[in-house]
Amino acid sequence: MFWTSWFLAALAIALAWPVPVFLSRAAWPARAPFAAMVLWQSIALAGGLSMIGAMLCWGLVPLGENLASGLHGLARILLGQDSLDTLGLIHAFALSAAALLSAHLVFTLWLTYYRIQRQRSRHRDLLNLLSSPSTDRPDTLVINHQAPVAYCLPGGSRSVTVLSEGLLELLSPEELHAVLLHEQTHLLQRHHLLLWAFAAWRSALPWLPTSKLAQQAVSSLIEIMADDVALRSVDKATLVTAIALVASGSAQLPADTLMADNASQIDTPTTTSARLSKLLAPAPALATGRQVLIIAGALMLLAIPTALLLVPGILA
């Protein structure tokens, strides 16, 4: 497992810095947002697995030739059947680091979920005071504010789309239809789950600059994906106008009214810029064959650390 640990360490470093930086600067993700989303998820999962796996394999080197035999040896030490001296101080430290990092990632994932759920609950309570149900649109709330604002609040069967009176007065029926299609796509495709995962990654590893890059990229990609769905029913000019009007309204609402968080899909200047750039300076969609290759490569990337850890004998 010696060489496995070093290979996983090199892969973790590559996925922690140069690969995400290169991907965040690439132009093709906007032309293939789904494929790019799969690749970002693969980078995050493979990177985390490689970091933990590198420390785990290095720690188990004195105890066995593969993960199974190493874990068996570790179990014997924990049960008092073998001496801790068999492991050694450095390898014991590596195993402790792997365990702590694993616990940290899982705990941060849960903590981020808890915080988002609490924010949503407070947000929903606030909406109960400041909004009223739409008379002609199911699962839609209307807030009494003149700023043109639209966003969705996930919650399973309680998911709602929130519109402002200012938006309803300002937008034409076609523009409003585009906005509703966009927000409904967020809910139907469960984009909030992606935002949750990448928000947790950034919270768990705030010292890693690429965790911020990944979160920003994913936020832009889900907006582009929702726009692509809306474009099937409305023309581009209508959608561009709707985006610009909604973006101008989000900045006008008080922060305590919006309670903006990753669960609400409220546009930031970065995501708005990405959406408008895609629509105003369109590039042809990436060829289907290339998209399939990207997705296959993403799956392969995730399979590499998994195989190194689970399949004995790949690397000694």
Please provide the DSSP assignment of 113-176 as one string. HHHHHHHHHHHHHHHHHHEEE-SSSTTEEEES-SS--EEEE--GGG-EEEEEHHHHHHS-HHHH
CA torsion 217-220-226-227 (nearest 10°) is -130
Terminal CA-CA length for the chain: 5
The mean per-residue pLDDT over the stretch 77-82 comes to 90
- R_g (Cα) of the chain, nearest Å: 23
What three-state secondary structure class fits 218? helix
Whether residue 256 is predicted with pLDDT greater than 60 in this model: the reply is no
Among 83-92, 198-207, 242-251, the minimum mean pLDDT is found in 242-251
Q: What is the pTM of this model?
A: 0.92
Nearest in space to 153 (alpha carbons), one of 143, 139, 164: 139
Taking the C-alpha atoms of residue 149 and residue 137, their distance in angstroms, rounded to an integer, is: 16
Predicted local confidence at residue 110, as pLDDT: 97
**How are strands ordered across the β-sheet holding 140-143?**
131-133, 140-143, 160-164, 150-153
Among 61-75, 169-183, 225-239, the minimum mean pLDDT is found in 61-75
Q: What percent of the chain has pLDDT over 70?
A: 93
Q: Which long-range contacts (CB under 8 A, 24 or more apart) does 9-15 make?
A: 9/50, 9/54, 9/58, 11/46, 11/47, 11/50, 11/304, 11/305, 12/47, 12/50, 12/51, 12/54, 15/43, 15/46, 15/47, 15/50
Taking the C-alpha atoms of residue 316 and residue 2, their distance in angstroms, rounded to an integer, is: 6
Among 30-39, 57-66, 78-87, the minimum mean pLDDT is found in 78-87
Whether residue 112 is predicted with pLDDT greater than 50 in this model: the reply is yes
Let me know how long the chain is: 316
